[in-house]
Amino acid sequence: VVSQLNRAGFEAYIVGGGVRDLILGEEPKDFDVTTNATPNQICKVVKNCQRRIIGRRFKIVHCVFGHRESQIIIEVATFRNNEESAAGRSSGDAGMLTRDNSYGDSIEEDSKRRDYSINALYYSPKNRIIYDFHGGYYDILKGTIDMIGDPVVRIHEDPARIIRAYRFAAKLGFKISERTMKGFEGNFSLIKNINSSRLFEEVNKFFLSGYGYRSFKVLKESNILKLFLTEQGVVFDSDYFNGFIGESLKRSDLRHRQGKPNMPAFLYAVLLWPLVNSMLNRLRTAPGFIHSSEKSIIDLIGAKVIASQLAITNFPNMVQDIIMEIWRLQADLDNGMDGVDNVEHVIANKFFRAGVDFMRLRAFMDDSLTDACESWEEEYEFQSARALMFRKAKSRGKSGGSDDADVERTIEELEILNSRRAKERARASEREQSLKKELKKSGRKARGQEKTKTKSRKKRSGKEKIKGGSRRGDESLNLTEWM
């Protein structure tokens, strides 16, 4: 992109995180290019990719190379200036710039509107020179995040810059400079002015980009995490909160390193679970809910918690639906393979795998869930292997590698295997039922007259498996506020 622009007589540089990460010896997530060509000129000059002009206030060009998973997007922006900031520019309802749309003449001018010195290095591949107007190179060597210009002015222009500083601190292990920190002090409430859709995107970057666990620690230590999440009461500082979310983020960081995707819905299902779980524990035994099904209580609590989180980080309807589905699935999964009416129905759920992964995290905090979790995992693996064999047999059939009889035979074998497993399950269930009867009998004898008190609790004992968050007195959590 840069050399095509250069050949056409334009200035063009790689700028931002790409240069920073290359200096650090890290693999850049993406590359941004800045040029004195206008968006229309960029589209004319850059040939070997799809070009899309995007942006409302300030138009930039997305140069898209490759397809789908292997797609690379290079963001190409025309030099900007920062003249509004000196005049105390107005910020919109999103707490973002509303007039940041005038072109700049040079990279020096462009550099003043960038956030931190470490993000304002310009690399010219043609000359093999890095241009640095704010001491960014030395800040990278020192591991310092330093705001360009007056930190107070810059965070009033755009409060998301505060969050970005913490993100770079987590991602790079850098320290925020003293003068920048001074500017932040007393101004953290500005974060509330960030548009909730934009905040959703920013929070995702913290937790879904491979450094989620480090972000969690930095955000907790600096007390910022609270600003991203709906009121959690004492749950926020509980061992369950730290253990459950911490473990989940360690696992999603690993997934990221393995090149596997992480869904925002799973992230939010995790971040909000300690609260949901704590409320669940309360409501299950609360008067008026004793006869309610686990799923209906989850529906009630889930809707409340999601609605209140949406006011902070606004996520799409689809994300909301998946979060609810993951939580609701827990009610089925907790009953174990033998306790649900229709195993196939549970497994056919589109988010079954996510639900089981979620259960695995809960089992990490509560060992009594481990057996049930393992049996679901085993079942999932079996079903996946079965589906794969089925697909293979079918494609062999199609490509003439085998005849119809071959395909029929494979399917038949699979059916036999399946019915064998169903029978095994039925037998195990029978065994468990008779064991339960025995236990009941001996329990009745042992209890004698002591059959008073918590009739309702006993009735719901099968539903007691989702637990944990409220282990350490969350008495102060005011449920009436929620319900």
Residue 139 touches which of ligand ATP, Mg ion, none (Cβ within 5-8 Å per kind): none
Stretch that binds Mg ion, among 2-10, 12-20, 41-49, 201-209 (CB under 5 A): 12-20
Give the up-direction half-sphere exposure of residue 65: CA atoms within 13 A in the CB hemisphere. Answer: 10
Q: Which does 115 bind (CB under 5 to 8 A by kind): ligand ATP, Mg ion, none?
A: ligand ATP
Shortest distance, position 115 Cβ to Mg ion, whole Å: 12
Selected range binding ligand ATP among 60-68, 158-166, 452-460, 472-480, rule: CB under 6 A: 158-166
Partner that binds at residue 114, options ligand ATP, Mg ion, none, CB closer than 5 to 8 Å by kind: ligand ATP
Question: Applying CB under 5 A, which part among 27-35, 89-97, 337-345, 429-437 lies near Mg ion?
Answer: 27-35
- Options 154-162, 312-320, 326-334, 463-471: segment touching ligand ATP (CB under 6 A): 154-162
Cα-based angle 51, 53, 56 (whole degrees, multiple of 5): 165
Among all chains, which residue has been given the structure tokens 């473990």? 247
Contacts for 125 with CB less than 8 Å, ≥ 6 apart? 2, 3, 14
Closest CB to ligand ATP among residues 148, 276: 148
CB closest to ligand ATP, residue no: 17
Indicate which residues carry an active-site annotation. Answer: 30, 32, 115
User: To the nearest whole angstrom, how small is the minimum distance from the Cβ of residue 218 to Mg ion?
Assistant: 19
One of 7, 9, 26, 30 touching Mg ion (CB under 5 A): 30
Task: Report the residue from 2, 17, 74, 362 that binds ligand ATP according to the rule CB under 6 A.
Answer: 17
| Binding region for ligand ATP (CB under 6 A) out of 28-36, 52-60, 228-236, 475-483 | 28-36
Per partner kind, with CB cut-offs from 5 to 8 A, the member of ligand ATP, Mg ion, none near residue 230 is none
Q: How many binding residues for ligand ATP (CB under 6 A)?
A: 12
Q: Count interface residues toward Mg ion (CB under 5 A).
A: 2
Cα dist. 169→5, 136, 177, 364 in Å?
A: 34, 15, 10, 29
Binding site partner of 413, from Mg ion, ligand ATP, none, Cβ cut-off 5-8 A by kind? none
Q: How far apart are CA 41 and CA 51, in angstroms?
A: 11
Q: Cα–Cα distance between 165 and 175 in angstroms, integer?
A: 9
Alpha carbons 47 and 53: distance in angstroms, whole number: 14
Identified binder of Mg ion from the candidate list 5, 12, 15, 17, rule CB under 5 A: 17
3-state secondary structure of 52: strand
Q: Are 110 and 79 in contact (CB under 8 A)?
A: yes
Helix (H), strand (E), coil (C) string for 65-99: ECCHHHCEEEEEEECECCHHHHCCCCECCCCCECC
Q: Which of 45, 80, 91, 114 binds ligand ATP (CB under 6 A)?
A: 114
Cβ-proximal residues to 45 (8 Å cutoff; 6+ apart), any chain: 4, 5, 8, 10, 37
Other CB atoms within a 10 A radius of the CB of residue 91 amount to 19
Q: Please give the structure tokens belonging to residue 7.
A: 């050949």
CB of 160 to ligand ATP, least distance (A): 5
SS3 at position 284: helix
Window 29-58: contact mask with ligand ATP (x via CB under 6 A)? xx-x--------------------------
Residues 452 and 221 sit within 8 Å (Cβ to Cβ): no
- Identify the CA nearest to 463 among candidates 240, 279, 284: 284
Residue among 160, 208, 224, 297 that touches ligand ATP (CB under 6 A): 160
| Block residue for tokens 């679970």 | 273
Binding of residue 156 to ligand ATP (CB under 6 A): no
User: Which residues contact ligand ATP by CB under 6 A?
Assistant: 16-17, 29-30, 32, 114-115, 119-120, 158, 160-161
